[in-house]
Amino acid sequence: MSDTDEFDALAGEYVLGTLDAAERAAVAARREREPALDQAIIAWERRLGPLDAVSPEIEPPDGLFARIEARIAGAAPNAQAGSGGGEAQARAQIIDLTRRLRRWRGAAAIVAALAACLALVIIWQDLVRPQQPSNFVAVLQKDAASPAFLIEVDLASRQLTVRPVAAERQAGKSYELWLIHDKLGAPRSLGVIADQGFTVRPALAGYDPSVVESATYAVTLEPAGGSPTGAPTSAPLWTGKLVQATP
């Protein structure tokens, strides 16, 4: 760990409360005379502040820390009988291991806290982010008294649904739907419309949502099966634009 990492970890441990009373008092005294440490502590308080509102307090089992210390002490080399130097060395190793344990425990808690904060931010953004409208409709008509087709578009999936309203079936002819927008240049065919019932197809999947939403939709009368050239062979009979159908 670099000096910067140690410094930042100390501030994180202070905010998380993993330091013992003596160490916490020492850090509190240092932040009074070390502005950089004070700023690091403030930064950690801002990062972890949201957890106070959602994280319940968890009381560790009685004697947990004592058992941890005992395990650490048991891992240290046994002091030779009658050897004061060996006993001092073992005690020093226990202290060093204890400090390392505290550092790693603090670092792990910091990482977990950051992950929890990130999850909270994502959930909060999903809750407060304004939902974009996805359902739009258009009535294709010559005038207000002559509706011919009803179009419904799911802007999220760009699924297209067309239903005849009052357009009369023409023998040997087909009605074809077109997408018209300045960005597209020539009108783009969205396919032949069924004479009865609903025509449902993902005909808009390849177009940008902004084009789909703002385009003009038009219907022409074409030879049976649709335009043989890929372009309208007659002037539009009915036109319309999408309007939002749901809030």
Per-residue model confidence as pLDDT tens for the chain (247 residues)? 455 666 777 888 888 777 888 888 988 888 888 888 888 888 888 776 655 555 556 677 777 777 877 777 765 555 444 445 556 666 666 666 666 656 655 555 565 655 555 555 555 555 445 455 578 888 888 766 668 888 999 888 888 999 888 888 888 999 999 999 999 999 999 999 988 888 999 889 889 989 999 999 999 999 999 999 999 999 999 999 998 876 6
Q: Cβ neighbours of residue 86 under 8 Å, at least 6 residues apart?
A: 77, 79, 80
Helix ranges (DSSP H) in 34-83: 35-48, 51-54, 64-75
Domains and CATH numbers, the chain: 3-128 (no CATH), 135-244 (2.60.40)
Whole-prediction pTM: 0.47
Residue type, 106: G
Q: What's residue 66's pLDDT?
A: 79
146-156: buried (b, 16+ CB within 10 Å) or exposed (e) per residue? ebbbbbbbbbe
Q: What's residue 81's pLDDT?
A: 45
Q: What's residue 197's pLDDT?
A: 84
Structure tokens at 17: 């409360």
Q: Cβ neighbours of residue 102 under 8 Å, at least 6 residues apart?
A: 13, 18, 19
